[in-house]
Amino acid sequence: MSSILSQDEINALLMGVMDEQEPESSPTQSSQVSETEFISKPRHLEAFQHIVKYDFRRPNKFSKDLLRILKGFHDNMARLFSGSLSVYLRQDVKVNLPYIEQHTYQEYIDDCNERARHYILSFVDDQAILSFDIEIAMLMVEKILGGQGADVWTNRQDLTDIELIILRNILDKLFVHQKESWGEVMKDLPRIISVETNPRVIHLVQPNDIVLKMVFELSIGDVLGIFTYCIPYIAIDHVLSQLIDSQYSRSKHQFIKKESEMKENLAIAMVDISTELGKADVTVEEVIHLQVGDIVTLRTKKTEDLLVKVGGLNKFGAALGVSDKHYAIKINQIFAN
């Protein structure tokens, strides 16, 4: 017997499934159902149409909206950190966030730079990793100590105790700005728990756990370096609703603030206002022969309101008068634009 089912046998199996879910129909009605209907629209699959594929090896934990919110927080942190470092180093420093994406923890460890200092931090109610390239760290230390930064490119792997203290002071500034950017979501400043030179000895989470990887570029003059952030999903899982609410509140506050600033700026803006006494039609010949003392009759009657223009737009109707020996107008009506 052949192990391959024929088309008739396949249709018979589909008929059996349909019979389990629907009342029995007469043979005559069953024979009227075409073969195409059973193949193209199997009703027993309709209950599963809402199911989507899920990759258990690489689950999508950080949605696009969440990545956008986190990027906004850390873009602000990078901007504040740039200003602090520029003052601290007395040189123009730029920090930006060109990369933010989710990875497995194993992928993050595999991509770590061997020539970096890896700081294990307390982060929200869990832990995170901050990896700082040793070259850019030594350059900042050299600048703070008054050097020109020309002799920092060495093969030295370890920093001295003094250099570590200076670098920690720099990181403290970064942590302050990070807390400012996160707002009430981050109740305490990130705190350095330990420092490692080999990232493979750090067992923050399981290898297949999802983490957020952020790569920051730090440029001092013509020198460019990087530092990376690794935040496990479990570290912020319980504050996701607060993150979204915080972003909404911040956006609403910024909108109100911008609206208030626009009103204040518009309130002091100078605009041109003019009053039109009236109009008349005259020929070119009459204009040529006009003399001092001649009278030109306007179409506007004495009892009619004069047209007042603001910035060239018809805005008010007003009566002509005198105030403190100056011509003046009294607003009688407002035109809707």
pTM over the 0.75 mark? no
pLDDT tens-digit readout, 207-244: 888 899 999 999 888 888 889 999 998 888 777 777 66
Q: Where exactly does CATH 2.30.330.10 map onto the chain?
A: 273-334
- Report the pLDDT value the prediction gives residue 136, as an integer from 0 to 100: 85
- Report the pLDDT value the prediction gives residue 36, as an integer from 0 to 100: 45
Res 184 pLDDT > 90: no
pLDDT tens-digit readout, 294-316: 888 888 888 888 888 888 888 89
Instruction: Out of 97-106, 175-184, 238-247, give the one with best mean pLDDT.
Output: 97-106
Secondary structure (H, E, C), the chain: CCCCCCHHHHHHHHHHHHHHHCCCCCHHHHHHCCHHHHHHCCHHHHHHCCCCCCCCCCCCCCCHHHHHHHHHHHHHHHHHHHHHHHHHHCCCEEEEEEEEEEEEHHHHHHHCCCCEEEEEEEECCEEEEEEEEHHHHHHHHHHHCCCCCCCCCCCCCCCCHHHHHHHHHHHHHHHHHHHHHHHHHCCCCCEEEEEECCHHHCCCCCCCCEEEEEEEEEEECCEEEEEEEEEEHHHHHHHHHHHHHHHHHHHHHHHHHHHHHHHHHHHCCCCCEEEECCCCCCCHHHHHCCCCCCCCCCCCCCCCCEEEEECCEEEEEEEEEEECCEEEEEEEEECCC
Res 40 pLDDT > 80: no
The mean of the pLDDT values for the chain is: 79
pLDDT tens-digit readout, 61-79: 777 888 888 888 889 899 9
Domain 273-334 class, CATH top level: mainly beta
Q: Where exactly does CATH 3.40.1550.10 map onto the chain?
A: 64-256
Note the CATH number of domain 64-256. 3.40.1550.10
Determine which of 141-155, 187-201, 203-217 has the lowest per-residue pLDDT on average.
Answer: 141-155
